[in-house]
Amino acid sequence: MLDPQETEAQFEHRWWELMTEMRVRFGKKPDMNALLLLIGVQELGQGAGPFTKEQKQDLMHIATCRLFSISGYYELDRVDEEGWPHYRLLQALPFSNLKEQERMLKWHVLEYFDEQNAEE
């Protein structure tokens, strides 16, 4: 879960390092929706598309579930016959306000990309 040893400054530094890496990789700084879409596409593993608007929403949902599986809120339930992952909610997400929700999502994005980099 969130690292109580990490200061806000350290967290923000890690976030801006990731944003810089993404800017170099894609030519512009992505917003959270773009990051979720990227993660969803990676998790689907079928290439960059093209995807319909509905499929893009589904990809962002896959990304959110995958991210929160890091902390045990979701788990992969199954992969359907078309290769799309489906997750099961294990426990309610503990958001008390929008700022906390955004920080928790950012932390999970950082952890996801740390995992991806460790596997390379």
pLDDT of the chain along its 120 residues, tens only? 556 678 889 999 999 999 999 999 889 989 999 999 999 999 999 888 789 999 999 999 999 999 999 999 999 999 999 999 999 999 998 877 888 888 899 999 999 999 888 776
Q: pLDDT value at position 26?
A: 87
pTM (whole model) above 0.85: yes
Compute the CA torsion angle 7, 106, 117, 20 (nearest 10 deg). -90
- Tell me the pLDDT of the chain averaged across its residues: 90
Q: pLDDT value at position 66?
A: 97
Q: What is the pLDDT of residues 86-102, one digit of tens each?
A: 999 999 988 778 888 88
Sign, CA torsion 3/9/15/20: negative
Q: pLDDT value at position 2?
A: 57
Contact of 70 with 64, CB cutoff 8 Å: no
